């Protein structure tokens, strides 16, 4: 960050219809994620003349571009001096000008949709144009964090009806880019989340692509989980691809496994997530709109949706799963998306590893038909891939699983995965000897008996405390699963970390709760599955 403050433009105070004030732009190296933030010194003449207030919205313009940002007031000239306007990294990138360039700054007009937001806060039902206006303002960063929070809380408190969910989904699709693959059949698969180690997408995509079906998988990074599909795939290959390159890879290899952030698909969703996740709010309506808007924007015509059920999953009962299924099906039907909802076993983590490197190891073992590969990950991936293959009119209903198994067993899925990895940009990785965190400890069983319960949330929490996903080598390696017999003192799982502080945080969490219950065989919870 430069501290040269010699070249400063003249400050033009604004008042009573005067033009916006001119300041020198400064890039402030603060990652504010999806929020545009502006920084102005308290003693700046413009700050005083304009009557700016902290956390108010300002409009920054230069060369025909404009950015709306939340104003932070600073007292340190080393950060931003008088005569300068600082912008956070994301806001600076949007303006696309050089450091020191002259910009104008003025009070931003209130979002046009603020009236609709207030009506929703009052408990009113909103119409299609209301949601279009709100989503447009969210996508354009017109809302402050406070206003975003108000919208998220309002839609959570007064649950959206199914028509409102449709309006929200449609508005989120319209607000971003939309891919067109110029093919009638474009398939995808998605899980609503909450199950650690559930990396079935990295197996389903190469299986389905090897069959010849188009499967462009754009995935998210982890926000509160130990790894997202993009985080795990990044162990093997580059995932941040320009949209043009992503399209070339998909056309050539029939599939990809990339991060969806570069494609600007449903940008409002990325902004809303930045508020939803810290608040731990995941209202059904918001979930449906988030998932379906991104899949439709990605050009999918057919979607297989995985809803896991379990005592510590997002969905904990069959009636709850059926309600969610009906909502997904209603909106998908209105959006002309063919949807196949599958209810799966969410009683425990899938696979053996939790964390990017460990999950990448599991995936490659399954693809290589390694005898040490986790059988639950293999079976679930085959079942989901089978359901996707049955969208092919040439595949007879019920034959999908057998076709998927043949593709995996023959090595065609592995070959396809290697093609995708090479095309995206291979990274060095030896799944036979994965580079795990240099520090580790085992968590022993407290008593003799049968593993009768595994807490998904606690295991995910421990893996994150150990450093995942920011430290890909960190995580949890499971040594026992549901129904297995253990003796007192035998290890249940191993925690890997790269830094002593992370290791200690994870150790303390394990001491509070291992996440495992040891009981009798009859204590193991019933599995709700539709395979």
Residue 333 has which token pair? 């039907």
Q: How far is CA 490 from CA 31, 218, 283, 452, 517, in A?
A: 43, 40, 40, 15, 14
Q: At what angle do helices 267-279 and 145-157 cross, to 10 degrees?
A: 80
Told to judge if 282 belongs to the known catalytic residues of this protein, a careful annotator would answer yes
Residue 128 has which token pair? 């299609």
Residue 261 has which token pair? 């952030």
Contact yes or no for 431/374 (Cβ under 8 A):
no
Instruction: Given the residues 96, 137, 231, 282, select the one marked as catalytic.
Output: 282
Residue 243: phi and psi, rounded to 5, are: -60, -35
Return all residues near 326 (Cβ < 8 A) that are at least 6 apart: none
Order the strands of the 338-345 sheet from edge to edge.
Answer: 187-191, 302-309, 338-345
Measured at the CA of 68, the angle between CA 11 and CA 36, to 5 degrees, comes to: 105
Residue 477: phi and psi, rounded to 5, are: -105, 110
Q: CA-CA distance, 202 to 143, in Å (whole number)?
A: 36
- Dihedral sign, Cα of residue 276, residue 240, residue 422, residue 189: positive
Residue 448: phi and psi, rounded to 5, are: -105, 140
Active site residues: 282
């Amino acid at each position: 960050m430069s501290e040269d403050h010699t070249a400063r433009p003249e400050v033009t105070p604004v008042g009573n219809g005067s033009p916006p004030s001119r300041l020198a732009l400064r890039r402030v190296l603060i990652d504010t994620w999806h929020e545009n933030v502006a920084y102005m010194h308290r003693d700046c003449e413009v700050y005083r003349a304009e009557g700016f207030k902290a956390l108010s919205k300002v409009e920054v313009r230069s060369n025909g571009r404009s950015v709306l940002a939340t104003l932070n007031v600073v007292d340190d000239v080393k950060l931003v001096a008088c005569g300068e306007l600082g912008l956070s990294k994301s806001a600076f990138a949007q303006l696309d000008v050089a450091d020191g360039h002259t910009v104008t700054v003025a009070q931003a007009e209130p979002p046009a949709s603020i009236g609709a937001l207030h009506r929703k806060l009052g408990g009113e039902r909103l119409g299609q144009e209301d949601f279009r206006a709100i989503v447009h303002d969210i996508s354009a960063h017109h809302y402050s964090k406070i206003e975003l929070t108000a919208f998220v809380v309002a839609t959570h408190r007064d649950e959206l009806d199914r028509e409102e969910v449709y309006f929200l989904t449609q508005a989120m699709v319209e607000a971003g880019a939309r891919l067109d693959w110029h093919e009638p059949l474009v398939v995808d698969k998605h899980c609503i989340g909450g199950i650690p180690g559930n990396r079935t997408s990295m197996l389903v995509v190469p299986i389905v692509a090897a069959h010849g079906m188009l499967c462009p998988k754009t995935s998210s990074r982890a926000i509160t989980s130990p790894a997202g599909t993009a985080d795990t795939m990044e162990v093997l290959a580059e995932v941040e691809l320009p949209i043009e390159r992503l399209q070339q890879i998909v056309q050539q290899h029939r599939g990809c496994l990339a991060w969806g952030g570069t494609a600007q698909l449903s940008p409002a969703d990325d902004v809303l997530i930045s508020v939803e996740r810290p608040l731990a709010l995941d209202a059904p309506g918001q979930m449906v709109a988030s998932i379906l808007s991104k899949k439709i924007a990605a050009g999918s015509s057919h979607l297989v949706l995985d809803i896991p059920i379990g005592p510590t999953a997002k969905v904990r009962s069959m009636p709850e799963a059926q309600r969610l299924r009906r909502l997904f099906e209603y909106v998908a039907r209105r959006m002309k998306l063919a949807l196949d909802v599958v209810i799966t076993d969410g009683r425990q983590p899938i696979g053996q590893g939790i964390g990017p490197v460990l999950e990448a190891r599991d995936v490659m073992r399954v693809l290589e038909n390694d005898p040490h590969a986790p059988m639950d990950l293999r079976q679930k991936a085959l079942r989901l891939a089978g359901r996707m293959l049955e969208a092919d009119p040439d595949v007879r209903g019920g034959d999908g699983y057998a076709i998927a198994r043949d593709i995996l067993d023959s090595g065609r899925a592995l070959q396809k995965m290697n093609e995708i990895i090479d095309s995206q940009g291979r990274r060095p990785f030896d799944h036979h000897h994965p580079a795990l965190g240099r520090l580790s400890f085992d968590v022993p069983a407290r008593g003799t008996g049968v593993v009768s319960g595994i807490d998904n949330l606690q295991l995910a929490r421990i893996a994150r405390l150990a450093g995942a996903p920011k430290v890909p080598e960190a995580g949890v390696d499971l040594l026992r699963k549901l129904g297995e017999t253990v003796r007192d003192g035998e290890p249940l799982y191993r925690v890997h970390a790269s830094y002593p502080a992370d290791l200690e945080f994870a150790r303390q969490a394990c001491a509070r709760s291992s996440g495992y219950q040891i009981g009798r065989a009859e204590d193991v919870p019933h599995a709700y599955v539709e395979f």
